[in-house]
Amino acid sequence: MTPGRADVTAGQSEVLRLERHLRAGEHSALKSDCAHVNEILARIGDKWTVLLIMLLGDGPKRFNQMRRLIGGISQRMLTLTLRRLERDGLVRRHVFPTTPPRVDYELTELGQSLRGPISAFGEWAYTHRSRIEAARERFDRAAVE
Tens digit of pLDDT for each residue in 15-54?
777 777 777 766 665 666 777 778 888 888 888 999 999 9
Assess contact for 32 and 21: CB atoms under 8 A: no
Instruction: Please give the pLDDT value at position 29.
Output: 58
Pairwise CA distance, residues 83 & 43, whole Å: 12
Tens digit of pLDDT for each residue in 129-142?
999 999 999 999 99
Query: Which domains are seen in the chain, by residue range?
Result: 1-45 (no CATH), 46-144 (1.10.10.10)
- Whether residue 9 is predicted with pLDDT greater than 70 in this model: the reply is no
Closest by CA to 114, choosing from 61, 47, 45, is 45
Q: Tell me how far apart the terminal alpha carbons of the chain are, to the nearest angstrom.
A: 45
- Whether residue 2 is predicted with pLDDT greater than 60 in this model: the reply is no
Task: Give SS3 for 58.
Answer: coil
Instruction: Please give the pLDDT value at position 31.
Output: 67
Tens digit of pLDDT for each residue in 98-114?
998 899 999 999 999 99
